Amino acid sequence: MLKRLLLLGLALFLTAGLLTGCGGSKPTAEKQGEKTLSLVLDGVASRQHELEAVAQYLKKVGVDAQVRVWEKNALLNEIKAGNRQAYAQDWGSAIFDPFDLAVPKLKTNERGNYSFYSNAKFDELLEKGAFGDNDQEREKAYKEAQQILYQDAPWIFGYYLDIIHGVAANVQGYKPAMDNRINLHDVSLSDGKDTLAVGLNIDRIPSLDPANHREREAETVIRNMFDGLVTRTPDGKVVPEIAESWKRPSPTVYEFTIRPGIKFHNGDPLRIEDIVFTFERILSPTGINGKQSPRVGLLGPLKKVEKVDNRTVRFTLDKPCPQFLQLLVHTQIVPEKYLKAVGDQKFAEKPVGCGPFKLVEAKLDSQIVLERFDGYYGGSPDLPPVGPAKLKKVVFKMLPEPSTRVAALKAGEIQIAEDIPVDVTKDLQNDPKVKIVTTQGTRCYMIELNNKKITDPKVRQALNYAVNWDELLGAIYGSHAHRLSTAFLPSGFGFDDSIKPYPYNPEKAKQLLKEAGYKTP
């Protein structure tokens, strides 16, 4: 009898499981005469909410929209194989020029062109905009390209987000930078303390060798130990740093004159040879540990670096590159003698730069401790104050969990917290010990469409009209998300602010879908 009970129980479980299992599947859309547009919106878990909301809007205009969540790289693989229809993606731009956003994302056959968009006229305009040597003409080309893009609507155009940092109330002189850097040289604490900790949104820093990583957060830390020829203001303008001034004798030649009296942390003076070495190390196919630096892409068409005299260095490019100065910000100068003496491996463990702080202790997976370098030359005069750093000791902590970062900030364990989730900003604003600081981000978020599958521009336009982005973004990100009219950022060169983002117009969307032969309610 017991046996029977057990078997019965099993059977009950089975049927219940079957019932619920089947209950999960959706009825397929009925087909009568006209076809219904079915769309699966793919994305990673962090975009899930947004995609669910988008799907709701699309359903209102008769699109049978479903959401599917993926592991990032598995999805990317499917996208590149052309198997998906619509996918939430994002692309970061570092140098305030469509050169590293619109070009890789939308030019035919470029690395990031997941939407398979291809328009010869558009490609030509991008080429002109990215590589022309007259800024006025470049701007014109870029603007014209935006017009084409707006009409073609290869994506459901998206938005960019604010960079939101949480800062303890006693922190002075800190400005979040659009390029996401955390420049601690100018920061001080109002209550006389001289130790500051930063919570970074990363698991571990890959390397402290400025030429051996591709990670924004690594550069954040490295930039406080190393200086470059040029640097950037928080709002993205290139200003001199190690270089005092520069000339551009021809479109493919740059000459930099460096400041005198700059010292590395180990006391060695900075020489032109160090600059030449820094760049040759990245250009060489066997530059670091017998391998090529992963940062070679950040040198653009650089061909040759050479010493002119003891204070001048000359860069020769393969072809004109209007973004070259912006790119140079991302290369930091290393000491040739020290590096050659200790080798690449040891250098990454005990890096020596000429920046405002020097390394005390590095545990790449938990914290990096720096202290003030008293022999600092002062830094860029365009980023006052000039002189040694005000803080004596700074600590970068790896805190990848947003909630732990916020909790650490509230508990006073850290004074600057990167990437605060929008949803907790309101809460932090009520905390007198914490303030929220923001600036524009440079990462573009969108829903890319597979232009090989969704070939009718009317459909793509309809999808753009159908989503009430203002309502959606307001709900999810408050005032911290900003819509984009196309794939160009307002902070980038050549942005056309006369183009307004697609308005929410479900009627227009339905009409366009109907014209394309799809069923609408």
Partner 1 sequence: MKTIKVVQRLIESIPLFILTIIAVFFLVRFMPGDPVDIMMGSGGNVTQEQIEQMRSQLGLDKPIAIQFADFVRGAAQGDLGYSITQSKKVTDLLVETFPATIELALAALLFALLIGLPVGIYSAVKQNSWVDRLSMGFSFLGISMPAFWLGILGILIFSVSLHWLPTSGRLDPTLELRQITGLFLLDSILTGNWAALHSAFTHLVLPAVTLGAELLAIVARISRSSMVEVLRHDYVQLARSKGLKETAVIFKHALPNALIPTVTVVGLQMGVLLGGNMIVETVFGWPGLGRLVVQSILNRDYAVIQGAVMLYGITFILANLLVDIVYTYLNPKISL
Partner 2 sequence: MQELSTAPLPAPPRAANASPWKKTVQELAAHPSGLIGAIIILLYLVVAVAAPLLAPYSPTEMDLRARFLPPAWAAGGSLQHLLGTDQLGQDLLSRIIYGSRVSISVGLFSVLISLLVGSVLGSIAGYYQGWFDRIVSRVADLLMAVPYLLFAIFAMAILGPGVLNLIIALSIKAWIEFYRLLRGEIISEKTKEYVEAARMLGRPGPVIIVAEVLPNVIHSLVVLVTLRIGYMIIMEASLSFLGLGVPPEVPAWGSMIAAGRDTLINAWWISTLPGLAILFLVLGINLLGETLRDITDPRLQARE
**411 touches partner 2 (CB under 8 A):** no
- How many chain residues are in contact with partner 2, going by CB under 8 A? 52
DSSP string of 173-240, one letter each residue = S----TT-----TT-EETTS--EEEEEES-S----S-TTS---HHHHHHHTTT--BSEEE-TTS-EEE
Binding status of residue 397 toward partner 1 by CB under 8 A:
yes
Distance of closest approach, residue 14 Cβ to partner 2, in angstroms: 7
44 binds partner 2 (CB under 8 A): yes
Answer for which of 85, 93, 183, 380 binds partner 1 (CB under 8 A) is: 93
How many contiguous H segments (helices) and E segments (strands) does the chain have?
15, 19
Nearer to partner 1 (CB atom), residue 17 or residue 92: 92
Choose the one of partner 2, partner 1, none that binds residue 456, judging by a C-beta under 5 to 8 angstroms depending on kind: none
Query: What CA–CA distance (Å, rounded) separates 146 from 158?
Result: 14
User: Which 3 state secondary structure label does DSSP give 317?
Assistant: strand
State the DSSP H helix or E strand holding residue 109, giving kind and residue range, or none if neither: none
State how far the Cα of 385 lies from the Cα of 10, in Å rounded to an integer: 75
Between CA 233 and CA 329 the distance in angstroms is 11
CB 212 → partner 2: shortest distance, Å? 27
Q: Contacting partner 2 (CB under 8 A), which of 11, 29, 38, 71?
A: 71
Q: Can residue 290 be called a binding residue for partner 2 (CB under 8 A)? A: no
Least distance to partner 1, CB of residue 48, Å: 17
Token reading at 55: 């799907």
| DSSP letter (8 states) at residue 332 | B
Question: Residues 48, 59, 64, 76: which binds partner 1 (CB under 8 A)?
Answer: 76
Among 249, 285, 432, 521, binds partner 1 (CB under 8 A): 285
Task: Report what 56 binds from partner 1, partner 2, none; CB cut-off 5-8 Å by kind.
Answer: partner 2
DSSP 322: T
In this structure, what DSSP letter does residue 47 have?
A: G
Q: How far is the CB of 227 from partner 1 (least distance, A)?
A: 21
| Residue 404 binds partner 1, judged by CB under 8 A | yes
State yes or no: residue 403 binds partner 1 (CB under 8 A).
Answer: yes
Quote the least distance from Cβ 388 to partner 2, whole Å: 37
**Cα distances (angstroms) measured from residue 512 to each of 66, 158, 323, 476:** 21, 20, 40, 28
| Residue 69 is a binding residue for partner 2 (CB under 8 A) | yes
What letters, b where the CB count within 10 A reaches 16 and e where it falls short, cover 478-512?
Answer: eebbbebbbbbbebbbbbbeebebbebbbebbbbb
CB atoms within 10 A of CB 215: 15
Check: CB of residue 454 under 8 Å from CB of residue 446.
no
Cβ partners under 8 Å of residue 518, min gap 6: 34, 35, 36, 37, 62, 63, 459
Nearer residue to partner 2 within complex by CB, 12 or 29: 12
Pick one of 68, 237, 346, 363: the residue that binds partner 1 (CB under 8 A): 363
Burial class (CB in 10 A: 0-12, 13-18, 19+), 447: buried
CB of 401 vs partner 1, minimal distance in Å = 6
As a whole number of angstroms, the distance between CA 55 and CA 42 comes to 11
Pick the closer one to partner 1 by CB: 91 or 518.
91
Shortest Å distance, C-beta 363 to partner 1: 7
**111 lies in the binding site for partner 1 (CB under 8 A):** yes
First to last CA, the chain: 58
Cβ proximity to partner 1, 73 vs 430, nearer residue? 73
Q: How far is the CB of 215 from partner 1 (least distance, A)?
A: 8
* 89 is a site residue for partner 1 (CB under 8 A): yes
- The count of residues interacting with partner 1 (CB under 8 A) is 61
CB 218 within 8 A of CB 203: no
**DSSP structure class, residue 299:** G
Q: Is 19 in the site for partner 1 (CB under 8 A)?
A: no
Q: Tell me how crowded residue 384 is: count the other CB atoms within 10 A of its CB.
A: 11
| Footprint on residues 341-400 left by partner 2 (CB under 8 A) | none
16 lies in the binding site for partner 2 (CB under 8 A)? yes
Binding mask 187-226 for partner 1 (x = CB under 8 A): --------x-x-----xx-xx-x--xxx------------
Q: Is 4 in the site for partner 2 (CB under 8 A)?
A: yes
Cα dihedral sign for 377, 383, 385, 389? negative
Residues that bind partner 1 (CB under 8 A): 71-74, 76-78, 89-94, 99-100, 103-104, 110-112, 195, 197, 203-204, 206-207, 209, 212-214, 285, 288-289, 291-292, 294, 296-298, 348, 361, 363-367, 369, 395, 397-401, 403-404, 407-408, 410-411, 413, 443
Interface ranges with partner 2 (CB under 8 A): 1-7, 9-10, 12-14, 16-17, 19-21, 23-24, 26, 44-45, 48-49, 52-53, 56, 66-71, 73-74, 78, 401-403, 406-407, 410, 421, 423-424, 426-427, 471-472, 474-476
